[in-house]
Every structure is written in C-alpha cells, then in structure tokens.
Amino acid sequence: MTHAEAAAWLDDARFFARQNSRHEDLAQDERGPAELAEWERIVWLLARTGGIYDPDADAVVQDERTADAAAAAHREAAAREAQRVAARADELQALRELGTLKQVEPREGDEAVREELTHRAGGYIQADVDAWLAHALAMHLGHYRGSAAREAAAGLLPPPLLAHAALLAELAHLAPGTDVDQLTFAARVAATEPEAADDLAGFLARARSGQS
C-alpha cells in the first residue's frame, strides 16, 4: 500500500466517521474511531518513511500480533486448567461417594478443585473435603510434602481450614499415634472460632518447644 492509497482509505474512514456521528446508535461504536486512528497512524508512518506499507515490518502491528498470540495462549491454558480442575473434581466426588476419599493424597492444584466442589454445591462448605485437606496439610501428605506447597496453601485455603490444619499438627505432636477420627472436635473448633484455634495451636507449639 502506497502513501496515496493509504491517504484515500483515511479519507473514507473520516467520511464514515462523520456519517456515524449523526446516528446515535452508531456514534457509540468504538470500532470507527479505532479504525480512523489506525489509518491516521499508517498515513503518518508512510509520510515519514516513504515506500510501501508492509504490516510485517510495522512494529505496532507486530506488537499487536504478539499480544494477540499471548492472549490466545493464555485462554487455551485457562481452558485446559478448567478441564483439569473439573476432571479432578469429578474424581474426588466419586471417591467421596465411595467413602474412600481418605485413602488418596492431595495433588498440586487441589485447592482450586476444592473451590470447584464448593461452587457445585451452591457455595456450601464441603466439610469432608476441608477435613481431608487439613489432615494432609498437617501431616505433610501428598502435594504438601513440599514446604513451598504448604506455604502457598496459606494464600489459597480459607482461614478455618488452615487453623484446623495447624491444630491437628500440634495435637499429633501432643498425642502421637492418635487416629484422626478421634480429633473431629478440632474441625468444629476451627470452623466456629478459627482465631481461637490458631491461638491454641500456637500455645501448644510454644509449650512443646519449652517456651512460655
């Protein structure tokens, strides 16, 4: 495209912009001003550089293409992650129905799966899933064997669940070998008084380390 050809397209864009401005329903359309601004930019570019306009040599166009490609990749990754979360939620739901959820260990990303299960339940907290995650977090099971995963969980899981995990961890030190089913009261305390559960866990930790 030559400078003269681009200038002709700019004149057309200006004409249609004036026409659209007279119609209220078209005046709000952002595509017209954006197209006009783009033609003005191309005309200015050709006036400065001369020659023939080549989109492949236009830095602005290349930046837009790069941004579009990155956005598309992001959407694809988000779609794949949503599919993974949904499939894992289906798996955990099946294990719950079989009564075997406690026999599996959490994986990376199960915090998002918890949110999915809660969403499916209309926002109701899934107490058995929370208890399963709290126990795994307290005992460093599955994904939570890594300290980085446990640290990340602090920003991904709700305070009552984290308080439950902290209390379970200290109770396990206090009474080694105790079956988790004997500690269901910890979940009730954490659900109703998460700050108190945290305080109790901290107190037990200090007592265990010999601090006052």
The pLDDT of residue 30: 60
Does the pLDDT of residue 117 top 80, yes or no? Answer: yes
pTM of the model: 0.69
What's residue 23's pLDDT? Answer: 65
Least confident of 7-11, 98-102, 146-150: 7-11
pLDDT band at 139 (very low <50, low <70, confident <90, very high): very high
Distance of alpha carbon 165 from alpha carbon 167, whole angstroms:
5
Instruction: Flag whether pLDDT at 27 surpasses 70.
Output: no
Q: Where are the domains of the chain?
A: 3-53
Contact assessment for residue 167 and residue 189, using Cβ atoms and an 8 Å cutoff: yes
pLDDT at 114 over 70: yes
Question: Are the C-beta atoms of residues 121 and 93 closer than 8 Å to each other?
Answer: no
Q: What is the pLDDT of residues 44-78, one digit of tens each?
A: 888 877 778 878 777 888 888 889 899 999 999 99
Buried b (16+ CB within 10 A) or exposed e, 50-87: eeebeeeeeeeeeeeeeeeeeeeeeeeeeeeeeeebee
Tokens of 42: 């191309």
Average pLDDT, the chain: 87
